[in-house]
């Protein structure tokens, strides 16, 4: 129990991490196309974000390691990454975590890990007391986004510090009960993964047929390069199809398309064809 911190979504535990370990002058490393909360949490504490370029929208782990300085306090990495959907080799992730100096916390964001067949195992490092943490959420494969519940795994020392800055009643009882039930419902998780895999295949084939470039992602969405993407976003919104423009992530001309049901995916492709 002392190696877990429960949060109002994994967003909150990342913000707690920033509150506990960052000060003005601290540096935080993450990819140039990474989850926006990393940057927001950094700036909230007056710290400095260090965005490492992502060639072909893939993490450059060597460049991220090379960006570490005496001022670095946290290195965030998501696999699969949001909003690109790309993944990193599990062993490469472990080696990166092992290589970091003691003054740096390595945070592996596994919000979408349930969609993977295998992922990095950092338990040995956590149990050894290394400054390594893993965050997970019930918002994706488990479908509990509206209830807001996630957690962080880390050493008892790190978790103890996070609990000092955590609100005492940060997660509501229905969310905790739902999360506990979700962990016991492997059948639902398997079904969720199966539907998602079919949806990824359906959208991939459809985008390919339309001639649109996309990133071969492993999460519950695909990032696709759509002509006049910002205008397309507005047109799709007007017909009730909601997608995410990625201009704010430095991906002008790209949209993030979340996997839906077979019928929803077909409708999305149909509307994209009309553009």
Percent of the chain whose pLDDT exceeds 90: 99
Residue range 187-274, CATH number: 3.90.1150.10
Q: Of 103, 115, 99, 95, which is closest to residue 69 (Cα–Cα)?
A: 103
CATH code 3.90.1150.10 region(s) in the chain = 187-274
Q: Tens of pLDDT along 139-194?
A: 999 999 999 999 999 999 999 999 999 999 999 999 999 999 999 999 999 999 99
Q: In what order do the strands lie in the sheet with 150-153?
A: 4-7, 150-153, 132-137, 105-109, 72-78, 27-31, 48-52
Report whether pLDDT(212) > 90: yes
**This prediction's pTM:** 0.96
Q: Which residue has the tokens 């390069």?
A: 225
Q: Tens of pLDDT along 5-36?
A: 999 999 999 999 999 999 999 999 999 999 99
Q: Tens of pLDDT along 106-122?
A: 999 999 999 999 999 99
The predicted model gives 125-148 an average pLDDT of 97
| Pairing assessment for the beta strands 244-245 and 254-258 based on DSSP bridges | antiparallel
The pLDDT mean for the chain works out to 97
Task: Look up residue 201 and give its two tokens.
Answer: 């295949």
CATH code 3.40.640.10 region(s) in the chain = 4-184
Question: How much is the pLDDT for 8?
Answer: 97
Q: At what angle do helices 10-21 and 36-44 cross, to 10 degrees?
A: 30
Question: How much is the pLDDT for 259?
Answer: 98
CATH topology of domain 4-184: 3.40.640
Q: Of 261, 255, 260, 253, which is closest to residue 236 (Cα–Cα)?
A: 255
Report whether pLDDT(213) > 90: yes
Report whether pLDDT(1) > 90: no
Please give the Cα distance from 221 to 71 (Å, whole number): 35
């Amino acid at each position: 129990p002392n190696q877990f911190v429960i949060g109002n979504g994994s967003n909150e535990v990342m913000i707690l991490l920033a509150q506990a370990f960052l000060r003005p002058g601290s540096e935080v490393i993450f990819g140039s196309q990474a989850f926006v909360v990393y940057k927001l949490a950094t700036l909230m504490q007056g710290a400095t974000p260090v965005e490492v370029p992502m060639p072909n929208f893939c993490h450059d782990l060597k460049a991220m390691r090379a960006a570490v300085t005496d001022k670095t306090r946290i290195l965030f990495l998501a696999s699969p990454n949001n909003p690109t959907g790309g993944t990193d080799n599990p062993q490469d992730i472990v080696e990166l975590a092992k290589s970091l100096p003691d003054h740096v916390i390595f945070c592996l964001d596994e919000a979408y890990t349930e969609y993977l067949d295998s992922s990095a195992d950092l338990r040995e490092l956590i149990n050894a007391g290394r400054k390594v943490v893993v965050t997970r959420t019930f918002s994706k494969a488990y479908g509990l986004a509206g209830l807001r519940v996630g957690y962080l795994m880390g050493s008892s020392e790190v978790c103890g510090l996070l609990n000092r800055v955590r609100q005492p009643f940060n997660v509501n009882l229905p969310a905790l009960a739902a999360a506990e039930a979700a962990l016991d419902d492997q059948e639902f998780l398997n079904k969720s993964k199966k539907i998602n895999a079919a949806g990824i295949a359906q959208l991939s084939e459809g985008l390919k047929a339309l001639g649109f470039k996309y990133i071969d992602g492993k999460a519950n969405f695909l990032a696709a390069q759509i002509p006049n993407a910002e205008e397309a976003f507005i047109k799709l919104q007007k017909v009730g199809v909601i997608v995410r423009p990625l201009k704010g992530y430095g991906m002008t001309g790209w949209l993030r398309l979340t996997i839906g049901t077979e019928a929803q995916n077909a409708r999305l492709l149909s509307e994209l064809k009309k553009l």
